Structure formats: structure tokens, C-alpha cells
Structure 1
Amino acid sequence: MFLKGRNLVVFIAFLLLGMFASSILTLTIVQPSSLAERGQANPPDGASGLSAAEWNKLSTTFKLIQDNYVSEVDKSKLIDGAVNGMLGALDDPYTTYMDPKEASQFQDVLNSSFQGIGAEVSLEEGRVKVVSPIKGSPAEKAGILANDIILAVNGEKLDGLTLTEAVAKIRGPKGSQAKLQINRPGMDTIEVIVVRDDIPVETVYSEMLEGQVGKIEIREFVQHTAQKFKEALKQLEDQGMKGLVIDVRNNPGGLFPAVIEMSEPFLASGKTIVQVEDRNGEKQATVSKGTGKKYPVAVLINNGSASASEIMAGALQEMGGAKLVGEKTYGKGTVQITFDKEFGDGSNIKMTIMKWLTPNGNWIHKKGIAPDIPVEQPAYFKVAPLSKKTTLKQDMAGDDVKNLQIMLEGIGQTPGRTDGYFNDKTVIAVKAFQRLNNLPVTGEVDEKTAQKLEETVAKEIRSAKNDLQLKAAVQYIQSSAGK
């Protein structure tokens, strides 16, 4: 999370591919001092926290570069590099610097919709790691998964770039392609093509399922989400809802005031929603003013549920009696604050200053929150897209063939095996698929067959009848409501 300027609002910080805004958390803290506010461009010894020798080392390095480097160097580039170097030494993926242009772009996105691929990333150990693809986004549709490592974009490697520089490479206008080179745990490097688009801004989707079980899906916690959630909840309750499923899978976070407002109805007054802890171990709790609910609640989570999603899940689990269903969450439990006035030029620093803890004091950072009811989705939900670099044929072997077989099995065909060897039964399964989809019946998987197969798999993934986690949550609600 990070604190935006002087508004004393803490954000659960991540950058979305396409420069989408971070998640927000409220917190009252002591406002930091500012050299810029004191008007000291060149602070005297001690005023900056540096000794005269340390200050001299920095300024001497700057002058040596200016006077002696083989080519002229932009002064602002040197200053930005020095700032990035100091922050990089902290080895913290959530402490970052934005130059004036990057900060302005980021603020624009905070206040409007955006175009991009629609995924949230962090920089960990120098690599761009996907936190979560946004539901309904091009990234999700293309098969991008949480924990994917993006190595390159359109042939340009991301090694050595800051997070904002990497994001700038990935984002782009609607309709343009981003060819992402992806490293996925347990697999060879794969290439995923994502067509950039407008990222959906609607964040709340609700429906009444069979048995009077309500379902509200929250895709992000942004400005109007709390009001939309409140309206959806009332509509479901007015229809005689017997229990509620809240879906925050692949939800990267959002405005914390919204999380507080949305969590409060499920927690009795006086119960803790979240705690924050500073460097001295001092803790501060945000307490509910709600009333609690008499009907059962289940929260759907997975490893793309991060930040504000984890706060809601933890609060409802520990203080609201809700059951968490699905997979372990992402695990992001630090608080950032943005210093956007100190430099006076529009640039800013987002720095980790606190931890956030669940109501019971659990720090979930890098650990996540485990579900009460663990449920894995079918294998084809997480299969990698086919590379389409070559036509797949009988007797070939490798990850592409393995993924092909998992896809075929997922849509009801019988490839005979899923170990990556293209056998005769796989040929029969491919022919059956081609026949059903009016494709040339060759038993080989060329680009056209691969594309159609991926589209079919994506459709199956979006179908509620195949969602094992949702089924488990509904089953829990129905059994609990009947008691």
C-alpha cells in the first residue's frame, strides 16, 4: 500500500500493466518533513541525514561524470539514476521512483480508464512478476497467470529496467500487440501474444444462483466499487438471498476506503478489520462500525487475489465467520507512502513504511492466506498457450504437446495421455476437434487449429459449470444455510 501525497491515504501498492492505479489503504501517520518545503536545494551538513564526507562523495561522483565521461550526460538522467540506485539498494519491489512524466501518467490513470493488457506486476529480484491479470482483461484472455515472469516485450528484454520503465514497454494503444516472452514455473519459456485494449472499468458483477445463493464478483476496489457493491448486496438480500459468495479471485486490490466500507456490513461493531504496524512495532487498528450478517458467506480466492482482496478475505475469515474457498492468496502485506511534494518537480518516491496485519495479527507477506476449503481448478484452467512456432504432429514431444493434450482433455476429447508425447490417440482427438469445428481434418495442430482450440478452452474456463471453486463455495453456503 502507499500513501498518496498529503492526503494521508495509504495505498496497497502495485503497478498494473497499462499503468493502472494501485490499491489504497487509509492510515493516519505523522507527515514526513520535506526539504523542498524548507526551500533547501543544497542542505548543509546533517540536514539531509548525510555527513559532509557522504555528501561530498555523491557530489564528487556527479561532477566527475559531468567533466570526464566519454559523452555528455543529461543532468536529470544522472539524478534520477542516483535516486533509483539508492532505492534499488533496499531490495524492496514496492519501493520505487517515478520521474515527472511517469508520475503524471500514473496520476492520469488514477483518475480515468486506461488502455493496456490489464495485469498487475511487481519487480522482484530484478524481474517483472505478474501479481494478477484483471478479470476480463486481454491478459487474462491470453492466458497470463499470477506469478508469470515477463522476460521481454516485442523482442525487448526487460532486464535492468525499473518497474515503471518495464510498464512503459508493455503498455500501448488499443489494438496493438504485445508479444510477451514468459517464464512460468515448471515450464520452458513461452511466448504469449496479447492484443492491448480498453481495460474494463466495471468492477462489480452480481447474480442470484440456484438455491437463492447470491454471488458478487469484485474485480477491483476502485472509486465507485463500494457503492456498486452496496447496491448489489441490497438487491440480492431483497430477493431473499440465503447466503452469499464473494469472488475476489484475480483481484489485484484497490481503494481501501472501499474495502473498509464493503467489509463492515459483515463484521459486528468493534471488530477489527485490519491492523498496521510501523518500524517501532507500534500497531493501529481500523475497527468496524457494522452489524454483521446472519446468513453464511464464502469468499473465493486464488493466488491472484492480492492487497485489498487479502484484507477483505482476512477480515471476513477471522472476524466475520466467512469461509475462504479456493487457493492461497498472493501475499502482499506491506504499506507504502508516496512522497510527491519533496522534490518540487512532479516526481515522487513510493516507499515501504509499514506492515499491514490481519485482525488476529497475522502478517501474510510472501505467505498469503490459505483457504478454509482448498479447491484446485481443472488443469486446463492454467495451461499455457501453444507457441504456434511449428505444426504439432504425431511422435513429437515437449511442453507444447503436453499443453495440447491438457486442452483436449479439458474440452471433452480423449488424447490418451498428458505427458507430452503426441501418440495415435492424440491424433484421433485432434481430428475429432477439427471435425467439430469445420477445420481441415489432418490430425495435426497448425496455427489455425491451435487458435481455435485456445478459444474453445477459454470459453470453457468462463463457463460456471466448470468452476470447481464456485461449486464448492455454493455447496458450503447451501449446507450452512440449511442448518
Structure 2
Amino acid sequence: MRKLSLVFTFVLFVIFCFAGPVLAGENTAIGTETFEEILNNIQSQHISNPNSDTLIQGAIDGMINTLNDPYTVYLSPEQLKEFQGSLESEYVGVGMQLQPGEHFPEVIGVIENTPAEEAGIKVNDQIIKVDGTDVIDEPLGMIVQKIRGPKGTKVRLTVRRSGAGDFELELVRMSIDTPTVIWKVLDDGTGYIGLNKFGVNTADEFDKALTKLKQQGVTALILDVRDNPGGILGEAVRIASDFVESGQLVTSTVDKNGERQEYHTKGAAIGLGIRTVVLIDRNSASASEILAGALQDYHAATLIGGTTYGKGTVQTIIPLKSGGALKLTIAKYLTPKDRVVNGIGLNPDYQVLTPGLQLIAAQRFLKPSEKNVVEFDIEKSEAQVNGIPVKIEQTVMQKNGVTYLPLRFSFEALGYKVDWQSSSNSVRITGYGSNALFSAENGQAVVNGKETTGLDPLKIEEGATYIPLSDLNVFNISCKTEESNLSLEKMSASGN
């Protein structure tokens, strides 16, 4: 009888433990009261006696993570200071620029003469650990805060690089001064301005550089925003004003309510009439895309390179009473022709995916030559393109008596466009009136709609595609071989 009484008492206890909250009210909506209840109960009863600051930070992180937006982040007072310092181009760190990756941050830029460059960190490297702690799926701002720190202190980074095993580097933090604008006159007389981000003084620096180039008689300009992650929207609008007449739309932002805000050019367009190329790549993002998209829409510049990153959202900094801030996505932006950029990016007018050839392609576009010449030294990882030395990752290869050339590099160096067709496992090569589709599996190609057989098959090694030297006859490319030197020559359209 006593056992039955104990069982009955236990059953009642269980029933009331689980039924109590349900009987408290019929409204099941989760509001701030529920949050406070949970927080208070965890603080007062959880066996681990958790720290309240840790619980609140976890709640903030969880709330932000539900947005699935890598650009909305909470900035602690220290992180806010670092963020403001980065816009002013001065901070203590190791000298690399990061952007959110799928799970780990990716390096999109390495500043010269910094610990990151000296340690050999490269663009597209991933940072997977900081001081031995895994940073998978952490907000970018938190990772940056971990990497930065007092001057002279050390930080250990575990780096993941495609085609290599993970490795660890130890770097000493230093003061980093990053000018946002560099400029020069190239050997052929073309002006060059490189932008590594859009900081608080970038537009002023850009105007000074452009004015000096004009004073030196420059009539053609290369504007380089490769590996530029963006920055202040207003600075991009001001630079666009140098190339587009006053009063023209540069970009529109649209908020959650569909309200549109427009940003227009102002002042004298000091670069109007200068033939301009904008170099872009998959790391050109945000303000870089605003500038490039506007110049493309107005035909004020020609875009050369690869498709851009596709960050088409605008963030604002909201100061918090705690001294930190919330960096919050508040709108998406559109180009003057209402093109959507977010998740899509901008496509170049002329695609050149080999980084070392993009600048050469821009020079060739602005000042065409009668012919294009590519010279390989079979024994070196270097080539000459129209007399300009270029480092190459894939060299000329000899196998079973057949000479193979690195396909993308060779054709892009001569001025062709190369596209890999994954659906058909083939390569399309276009240019100079030719449109050729090469099968990667056999010696067949379709050239200008006609099937061509009997070609030597393409070769794929370590992810790179090579084309037999003999197959270049399809394109009427002149080939010369002398000892260890191999030369390709293609007359330009005007020279045909």
C-alpha cells in the first residue's frame, strides 16, 4: 500500500511539472516576456551557474544568426573601434582583408609589407583557426577581433589553401597603414588607379590621383577594383561623379517597405571623356559593384575580368547604449538601370579569368596592337605576353611526343574568351570570328558550326586543362619553336 502511495505521488509530481506552464495561459506566442523568463530560470537554476554576459551574448548571436545574413553583426565596443579604424585606414593587425566564406572567412587581399605578406598568406586562403580555436561559422567581426590585438603581440593562424594541407603560421601584429588609392602611369602611357577599399577619404584621394594623371597627359585609364570588398557607399557615388554628368542616378536603395532612396552624381565630371576600363573579379563587392555597375550602365567604362561577388545590400551602423553597435542590413541596392546585384554580381563586358592577364587585356583594349604574341620558355614558370612578363601556374608540357599548352592562359593571352561547359564536359573558345567547342574526352570539336575530327584530345591534369599545340591550327594561330622557346602569334582583327 505504501508503494502504491509513493507511485501515485510521483505521478502527480510529473503531471504538475509538465502541465503547469500549459495551464498558465492559452497564448503560446513567444515574446520578450518569454525570453526574460527563460533567461531568469537559466540564471537561477541551471547547474552550470552560467555567466549572464555569456548568456546574453549567446542570445544576441542566435538572434542575428536566424537572419541568415553574414553582413548583420553585433559589434562590441572594441570591435566597433576596430571597424571605424579600418574605414580610416589605420589599425593594428596582420595586414589582410577578409570576407565571409561558406564556413570560414576567405582572404580577398594582402597588404604589401605586412606580416601577412611576409608569412606568405595568399588571396583565397581560408582562416580556419585563430590561436588554435576553430572559427567555423563565426561572425566575421568576431574573427577579425580575434586576429587583431595590441601591437607587438603574436597571433597563430591555421590556414587552409586549395591543393595543400592545412598549415599554421605565427604572425606579430603591427600598425597597418593602408592607403586606399594607388596610381601610376604605365609604360604605354595608360593611367592606372587602384582602389583597395572605399574609406572615409577615398574619393578625395581618387580625385587627386585622377587630376595628376590628367596633368601628365593621360587619355586612357584603368580603374582597378579587383579584391576590393567595398566600404562607404557615398565614396563610390562621389567617384562615379567623376565620369558621369552631374545629376545622374548612380544607385537606388530599396528598404523592406519598398521605399526607394536615390543617389545622384554631383559636381564636375573631371574624368568625362577619358577612355576607361574597370578591372573586376569575384572579390569585387558592395561599393565596388555600385561604382562598376553605374559606369557600365552609362557606358562610361568597359568592365574586364570576372563576375563580381554579388553583395548588393546596404548596412548601417546603429550605436547602442552599451557602447557597441549593431551593423544592420537595411536595404538592397540597384544599378541605374535597376539591375539586381545581390547574389548575382556584375558580368564583365570582356571576360578574362586569368588574374595575371587582366591588366594586359585592359591595356590591349585601350590601345590595340596589330598582333598578339605569347612566348613561353618551356623550362620556366613564366611567359611573355606582348613583351610583358607574366608568371604562369601551368607550364608547357611534353607527353608521349605531344606538346601541350595551358589552354585558358594561352587563349586569354591571345585575346580569346574561354568558358568551361560543365554540362557537356567541353571547352568553348571564342574570338576573332571563331566559335569552337572542344570535347574534353576525345579529339572532336565543333568549329563555327562544323564538326572537326582527328584532333589530338585535350588533357586534364590536377584540375587544369591543356590543349595540344597541333590543335591551334583550327584557329590559324602561328606557332614557332626554337630550342626551349615556343612562340604563339595571332594577328588582331584590324590586321587580318
The answer, yes or no, to whether TM exceeds 0.5 is yes
2:296 maps to which residue?
317
2:343 maps to which residue?
366
Cα pair 1:134 1:250 within 8 Å, conserved: no
2:281 to 270, 281, 302: 302
2:381 maps to which residue?
409
Tell me by how many angstroms 1:379 deviates. 8.0
Cα pair 1:311 1:358 within 8 Å, conserved: yes
Q: Give 3-state SS (helix, strand or coil) of 2:381's partner.
A: helix
Cα pair 1:134 1:219 within 8 Å, conserved: no
1:219 maps to which residue?
196
TM-score (norm 2): 0.61
Cα pair 1:137 1:200 within 8 Å, conserved: no
Cα pair 2:89 2:199 within 8 Å, conserved: no
Tell me by how many angstroms 1:276 deviates. 0.8
TM-score (norm 1): 0.63
Cα pair 2:82 2:91 within 8 Å, conserved: no
Tell me by how many angstroms 1:368 deviates. 2.0
Aligned residues: 346
Tell me by how many angstroms 1:181 deviates. 2.8
Tell me by how many angstroms 1:158 deviates. 1.0
**Amino acid aligned to 1:295:** I
When structure 1 is superposed on structure 2, of 87-96 and 318-327 the one drifting more is: 318-327
Q: Give 3-state SS (helix, strand or coil) of 1:305's partner.
A: coil
Cα distance in 2 for partners of 1:166, 1:347 equals 16
Cα distance in 2 for partners of 1:380, 1:174 equals 38
Q: Give 3-state SS (helix, strand or coil) of 1:226's partner.
A: helix
Cα distance in 1 for partners of 2:28, 2:265 equals 47
Cα distance in 2 for partners of 1:418, 1:372 equals 35
Answer yes or no: is 1:88 the counterpart of 2:60. Answer: no
1:5 maps to which residue?
none
Cα distance in 2 for partners of 1:70, 1:113 equals 45
Cα distance in 2 for partners of 1:189, 1:407 equals 30
Change (3 A) 1:115 1:280: same
Tell me by how many angstroms 1:92 deviates. 0.9
Give matches, 1:23-62, under 5 Å: 54-62=31-39
Give matches, 1:330-369, under 5 Å: 330-341=309-320, 344-369=321-346
**Amino acid aligned to 1:164:** G
Cα distance in 2 for partners of 1:369, 1:159 equals 29
2:80 maps to which residue?
103
**Amino acid aligned to 1:306:** A
Tell me by how many angstroms 1:86 deviates. 0.9
Q: Give 3-state SS (helix, strand or coil) of 2:90's partner.
A: coil
Cα pair 1:327 1:371 within 8 Å, conserved: yes
Cα distance in 2 for partners of 1:364, 1:418 equals 44
Cα distance in 1 for partners of 2:234, 2:335 equals 16
1:377 maps to which residue?
354
Give unpaired runs (5+ residues) of structure 2. 1-26, 359-377, 383-390, 400-492
Change (3 A) 1:105 1:226: closer
1:165 maps to which residue?
142
1:121 maps to which residue?
98
Cα distance in 2 for partners of 1:177, 1:418 equals 46
Tell me by how many angstroms 1:258 deviates. 2.1
2:434 maps to which residue?
none
Cα distance in 2 for partners of 1:413, 1:53 equals 56
Change (3 A) 1:340 1:413: closer
1:419-454 alpha-carbon deviations (Å, 9 max, x no partner): 9xxxxxxxxxxxxxxxxxxxxxxxxxxxxxxxxxxx
**Amino acid aligned to 2:207:** K
Change (3 A) 1:85 1:353: same
Cα pair 1:380 1:407 within 8 Å, conserved: no
1:252 maps to which residue?
229
Answer yes or no: is 1:275 the counterpart of 2:247. Answer: no
When structure 1 is superposed on structure 2, of 87-96 and 298-307 the one drifting more is: 298-307
Greater relative contact order (Cα < 8 A, sep 6+) = 1
Change (3 A) 1:91 1:307: same
Change (3 A) 1:277 1:298: same
Change (3 A) 1:413 1:251: closer
Cα distance in 2 for partners of 1:371, 1:136 equals 31
Give matches, 1:134-145, under 5 Å: 134=111, 137-139=114-116, 142=119, 144-145=121-122
Cα distance in 2 for partners of 1:61, 1:258 equals 45
1:26 maps to which residue?
none
Tell me by how many angstroms 1:269 deviates. 2.6
Tell me by how many angstroms 1:147 deviates. 4.6
1:44 maps to which residue?
none
Cα distance in 2 for partners of 1:326, 1:91 equals 29
**Amino acid aligned to 2:130:** V
**Amino acid aligned to 2:236:** V
Report the structure, 1 or 2, having the larger helix content: 1
Tell me by how many angstroms 1:136 deviates. 6.1
